[in-house]
Chains A and B, each alone.
Chain A
Amino acid sequence: EAGVAQSPRYKIIEKRQSVAFWCNPISGHATLYWYQQILGQGPKLLIQFQNNGVVDDSQLPKDRFSAERLKGVDSTLKIQPAKLEDSAVYLCASSLVPGVYNEQFFGPGTRLTVL
């Protein structure tokens, strides 16, 4: 079974530029998550999708971050404009169904450096 795919793996941009990350979850997984992991910290949830609908985006900085999952499969996370404090690893995860019992499967992440 293929895992969660993410691209690019690394990205370096100047502040105020825009950037986009792509995620393809495990086939058949209805729930998709984007996390931000700042160096030395645990991952923090940014947004959760159930199929193509947003379940929770309460921690997404909506003035600069946006995400979509138009066909209920792959997803894109965008930052525009980027700030220095956005430097982090962005992790995508998926689970077969939502629910507190179910573990999530994580992709390798995209490491973003904002200069």
Chain B
Amino acid sequence: AQSVAQPEDQVNVAEGNPLTVKCTYSVSGNPYLFWYVQYPNRGLQFLLKYITGDNLVKGSYGFEAEFNKSQTSFHLKKPSALVSDSALYFCAVRDFNYGQNFVFGPGTRLSVLP
């Protein structure tokens, strides 16, 4: 079965500093990995995805993520955090062997301090 872990409930970072939100996954086949962001009282917004190819994926709002197959990780990164990046971030995985359904991680709350 597929699963996703986000080991940190909360990440605090100062504005202008680089940020990392961690994600590890477990699948039986090839993973398809996604990051979503959720602002208060709003639905999830797609940030980026890894399907195949280059391990470094660039997405919306300056975010990027690095796929590491040996460590089964897909950490979300941004070189310089903004206060407006403060939100809840979800990592999700799909396993081709298990159909199309997303399995979401529990979420990591990012707080960017001015």
Residues of A whose CB lies within 8 Å of any CB of B are 4, 9, 40-45, 48, 55-56, 91, 93, 98-101, 103-109
Contact = CB atoms under 8 A, between A and B. Distances in A.
17 contacts: A4-B43, A41-B106, A42-B90, A42-B104, A42-B105, A45-B102, A48-B101, A91-B43, A91-B44, A93-B43, A93-B44, A100-B94, A100-B100, A103-B34, A104-B102, A105-B46, A107-B43
Given A9-B41, A43-B104, 20 more contacts: A4-B43, A41-B106, A42-B92, A42-B107, A43-B44, A44-B104, A45-B102, A48-B100, A48-B101, A56-B100, A56-B101, A91-B43, A91-B44, A100-B32, A100-B99, A103-B34, A103-B49, A106-B44, A108-B42, A109-B43
Main secondary structure of the interface of A (DSSP, over half): loop
Contacts of A100: 32, 94-96, 99-100
B51 A101 contact: yes
Nearest to B107: A42
Contacts of B34: 103
Interface of B: 4, 32, 34, 36, 41-46, 49, 51, 90, 92, 94-96, 99-102, 104-107
Given A42-B92, A56-B99, A100-B96, A106 B45 contact: yes
Contacts of A93: 43-44
A107 B38 CA distance: 11
A42 B90 CA distance: 7
B43 A108 contact: yes
Nearest to A92: B43
